[in-house]
Structures are given as structure tokens and as C-alpha cells.
Amino acid sequence: MTSPQTILSVEGLKKYFPIRRGLLRKVVGEVKAVDDVSFTIDRGETLSLVGESGCGKTTTSRCILRAVHPTAGAIRFRTDPTRNVDVAVLPRAELRPLRRQIQMIFQDPYSSLNPRMTIADIIGEPLLVNGVSSLAARRTRVGELLDLVQLPRAYMNRFPHAFSGGQRQRIGIARALALNPTLIVADEPVSALDVSVQAQIINLMLDLQERLGLSYLFVAHDLSVVKHVSHRVAVMYVGRIVEVASTATIFHRPKHPYTEALLSAVPTPDPRRRAKRIVLEGEVADPANAPPGCAFHPRCRYAIERCRQELPRLATVDGSLVACHRSTELGLTGVASAAHA
């Protein structure tokens, strides 16, 4: 791993799903859901993976949790200051201790909590599974966790149905924190919530990160939310990372034409800024049959002959990592900088 501050280092990660056809279920092709993805996350840092549906952001996060088995690549996770393990090849038996350190927050707070369990049981379950057998000790810890997510301790004996979406998401976060994880994978944690509640959960995640020194891998499609939570952002398109940079750089000085188009498509909550949008032609490419060269070239308004033939590699341009043949010559437009109208 590159630096002692790095908690997670993903190197050349691939996940191909076979396409089977016919009576014998013969493999006739592959969906390259994740294709040669690399990134790192530091201690206390939030890296967001953004992109549209089918870009591979969720599959990437599921590989890190080993909910799916990667086809190739390494996922190095620092378990303590001197040691790291490769999650990608770890035998099943050795995954459990690791799962104390990597936890996840789900998108849907309605289906991710068991309706037959009390809040104390839901939050206490990871403690029980990991050997905290004393009920009193578990209840003490559950109380602390409820304080942490700013829910009254009195809620401990209630069932999930009594809670709103935002409160359920707090319960899900408390459960994720039960075993003092160092890395939290959050897949669209606020996209099912109403705006007024979404803001509360975003703030809570920022506070918890500062208090507990957590690292977040934040998977999201909503770029406005991403702006409020991330230190760095990785943009994915058809299984590959096309650009990685600090949040300010990605939003204000994008280097990849897809990032530019994505930013341009976000509606701005200000009627005085009805900008001329870059409306992309066509559809996202099929990861089972990606176009040759740069997968974005059929929709890219800057594409040249080279883009149709040669796959661009990630390279450093002014502090950003960009996979575009023309990244040094194009002057792309981001969102207007910070001044809130």
C-alpha cells in the first residue's frame, strides 16, 4: 500500500458476469461490470463513486464487502497499522473478523431492518454475533450508539414500523457503528429520503466521520449530495473510472468530457441559472458489448479518430487522474464556483 494513511487500496479490480444461453447454459459472453478499477481511500476520508445506473459503482462496492467474488484484482485493506489483507482472495473463514472493520449502510431503510426485532436487538445483533454475550453490556452499548445517532434511548424497545425513514436510517447507521468499524461502505444512503430528512442524515454522517475518524466509500448518483460529503470523487462510466480528483476540482474544473456532461445535466435549484445544458445524445453503452476504444466516444462531442480505436488509460493531468486522450487540450466547463446565488 502506498502510504500508512491509506486504509483501502483497490488495484485493477475486475468483475465479469457470464452471459449464459441455451439448454446447456453455455457461456456466450461477459458483462464487464467492473473493468480494471483502481483507487485508494485514506483514514478519515470520503471517496465517492459516482455514475449512472449500470456503471459498476455498486458492483465495485459489493466486491469490497466480498458480497460478490471479484474476477481479478486486489483489494488491500489495512487491518492495523502494520498489517493489511487482500480482501479479494481471503478465504471465507477469515472474512468474519474483517467484517467488524468494514460495515455498510443500505439505501432502503424500510427493507433493511427486520420488522420482528426491537431496535435494541437490531443494533445489538452484530455485538451478539461477535461475542458480546451479556445482555446488560449490549444494552449499554446500544444506548451509546443511540446517543451517537441522536435518537432517544427510550426508543430501544420499539419496533422499526414505529419510525420514519430518517429515523430508520439512523438506526441502520447505529447498527453499522456497533463494532467500531474503520471503513463504511454507504450505497445511496440518502436517496430514498425526503429532502428535509436527507439533510439531517448528511450532517450526521459528516459529524460521525469527524468524531470517530471513519472512512467512507460513498456510492451515489446524486452529484449535489456528493458535493456535500466527499473529499474526493471518482466518476465511473461503463465499468471504468474515467476521472478521479478532489471534490472542488471535479466540480469546478472537470477534465473528462463525461464528467462535464454529467455536471451540466444536474438541474440547479435556481431559476436564474437556467443554463444551456449539454444534452448527451443516445444512451449509456452496454457493458456486455462496450464500444471499442473509449466507451464514451459515441456520445462524446470532442471524440476524434484515436478515441474510436485506443482505450485511454488513467493519467495525471494538473492533479486529476483522467482517462481521456484529449484531457490536456480540452478546456471543459464545470459548475460555477462556490458563490451561492
The residues of the shown chain that bind another protein, judged by CB under 8 A, are 46, 52-53, 164-167, 194-200, 202-203, 206, 221-225, 227-231, 246-248, 251, 261-274, 277, 279-280, 283-284, 335-336, 338-341
Nearer to another protein, 73 or 254 (CB): 254
Q: Which of 35, 32, 5 is CA-nearest to residue 17?
A: 32
Q: How far is the CB of 225 from another protein (least distance, A)?
A: 5
CB of 97 to another protein, least distance (A): 32
Compare residues 210 and 329 and give the one whose CB is closer to another protein. Answer: 210
Q: In what order do the strands lie in the sheet with 83-86?
A: 26-42, 6-21, 72-80, 83-86
Nearest distance, CB of residue 236 and another protein, angstroms: 12
Amino acid identity of residue 48, one-letter, is S
Rounded distance between C-alpha atoms, residue 133 and residue 15, angstroms: 38
Locate 276 and state its grid cell.
444551456
Do the Cβ atoms of 202 and 190 come closer than 8 Å? yes
Cell of 127: 455485538
At closest approach, how far in Å is the CB of 94 from another protein? 35
Integer CA distances (angstroms), 312 to 12, 37, 78, 226, 285, in order: 15, 13, 30, 26, 16
Report d(CA 27, CA 190) in Å as an integer: 37
Please give the helix or strand (H or E) that residue 26 lies within, else none: strand 26-42
* Closer residue to another protein (CB): 14 or 256: 256
* Residue whose CB is less far from another protein, 123 or 226: 226
- Determine whether 324 is exposed, middle or buried from the number of CB atoms within 10 Å of its CB (0-12, 13-18, 19+): buried
The CB-of-115 to another protein minimum distance in angstroms stands at 16
**Signed CA dihedral, 271, 275, 276, 280: sign only:** negative
Nearer to another protein, 82 or 196 (CB): 196
Min dist CB 47 to another protein, Å, is 13
Distance CA 7, CA 42 (A): 5
Q: How far is the CB of 146 from another protein (least distance, A)?
A: 17
Closest approach of another protein to the CB of residue 103, in Å:
21
Which CB sits closer to another protein, 75 or 174? 174
Nearer to another protein, 65 or 280 (CB): 280
Instruction: Give the nearer residue to another protein in terms of CB position, either 16 or 251.
Output: 251
Q: Smallest distance from the beta carbon of 139 to another protein, in angstroms?
A: 26
Q: Which is nearer to another protein, 51 or 70 (CB)?
A: 51
Rounded Cα–Cα distance for residues 205 and 199 (Å): 10
Distances (CA, A) of 228 to 64, 206, 224, 247: 24, 9, 7, 9
Angle 153-157-162 from CA coordinates, rounded to 5°:
95
